Amino acid sequence: MHRSRLLLAIGSLCLLVFLPSCSEKLSKQTGLTDADLFSRGQKGFAARNYGDAIEAFQVLIERFPNSPLAAKAQLGLAEARMENRDDVEAEVAYDDFLRLYPADENVPYALYRKGELLARQAHGPGRDQTKALEAIKALNQVLEKNPKGPYVEKAAAKTRELRNRLAEHEERVVSHYLARKQYVSAEARARRTLSEYPESGAVPSLLSLLAEALDKQDKKAEAAEVRKSLAEKYPGAGGRKR
């Protein structure tokens, strides 16, 4: 028994000495081709070992910037970063892909994924909406670059969702102005929002808020017209609850 354990220990030591370490960083390993690195990146991604995938794609890009696989590696890096929840790094990786390979066939897909990435970082109504606006910009580019492509429907649906969120945010801003008795600002913000997001589910509430802002400025005739429009277009909406 003692002899068997000794032989096992010696065998394990030999493996450690003579075989390449699995934990050795790829950046320190020599003799790897671009195909080797890309394969490792793909396998890591498929196994959800995103750290391994990131490392493999990164090394490929650094060692073989002119490789035919470089564009795929750059996109793979962005995807792995996104799945690993490295949002800032993922955005940079997508931007690098779009900048370096503007004619690549995967540009619409990269734009869609960047839009998804930005959308998941977007805050709800009442907070900063920069990411929502950036997401819409990326998603709109999907529609512009490939209007009949496979990602158009999803991009359009995500855009509608984000636009509704922006309209709800603006609705809160208008309510805030009314609460602070800033009626001119409330009117201007409500009119602008109605113009920018006419398809939003927040339209009935915005019309009601606009009518209230007009009433507070003694613009009774205009307020009546807005309420008439509200009643005709959204008969079940009613007025704003005070």
CB contact at 8 A, 149 and 169: no
Higher-scoring residue by pLDDT: 50, 11: 50
What are the pLDDT digits (tens) for 172-216? 999 999 999 999 999 999 999 999 999 999 999 999 999 999 999
Rounded Cα distance between 194 and 206, Å, is 7
Amino acid type, 4: S
Check residue 66 and give its pLDDT. 97
Check residue 22 and give its pLDDT. 41
pTM over 0.85: no
Rounded Cα distance between 66 and 46, Å, is 25
Q: Report the chain's mean pLDDT, rounded to a whole number.
A: 90
Tell me the HSE value of 144 on the side-chain side, using a 13 A CA sphere: 7
Check residue 24 and give its pLDDT. 65
pLDDT score of 6 more than 80: no
pLDDT category, 239, cuts 50, 70, 90?
low
Both tokens of residue 186?
Answer: 């409330």
Nearest to 159 by CA among 170, 175, 144: 144
What are the pLDDT digits (tens) for 158-169? 999 999 999 999
What are the pLDDT digits (tens) for 95-110? 999 999 999 999 999 9
Nearest to 193 by CA among 184, 203, 185, 201: 203
Query: How much is the average pLDDT of 38-42?
Result: 98
Both tokens of residue 101?
Answer: 């390979």
Rounded Cα distance between 231 and 224, Å, is 10
Check residue 123 and give its pLDDT. 92
Higher-scoring residue by pLDDT: 43, 242: 43
pLDDT score of 53 more than 90: yes
Query: How much is the average pLDDT of 212-221?
Result: 97
* Phi and psi torsions of 220, nearest 5°: -65, -40
Query: How much is the average pLDDT of 45-71?
Result: 98
**CB-based contacts of 38, cutoff 8 Å, min separation 6:** 56, 57, 60, 69, 72, 73, 76
Q: How far is CA 237 from CA 24, 31, 68, 199, in A?
A: 65, 70, 58, 15
What letters, b where the CB count within 10 A reaches 16 and e where it falls short, cover 73-89?
bbbbbbbbbbebebeeb
Rounded Cα distance between 237 and 214, Å, is 19
pLDDT category, 11, cuts 50, 70, 90?
very low
Fill in the DSSP letter of residue 27. Answer: G
pLDDT category, 12, cuts 50, 70, 90?
very low
E strands in 121-164: none
CB contact at 8 A, 201 and 229: no
CB contact at 8 A, 201 and 164: yes
What superfamily in CATH does domain 32-101 come from?
Tetratricopeptide repeat domain (1.25.40.10)
Rounded Cα distance between 19 and 27, Å, is 17
Check residue 242 and give its pLDDT. 41
CB contact at 8 A, 190 and 206: yes
Nearest to 22 by CA among 46, 43, 8: 43
Tell me which of 19-33, 39-53, 62-76, 209-223 is least confident: 19-33
pLDDT score of 157 more than 70: yes
Tell me which of 19-28, 62-71, 163-172 is least confident: 19-28
Check residue 238 and give its pLDDT. 58
CB contact at 8 A, 194 and 207: yes
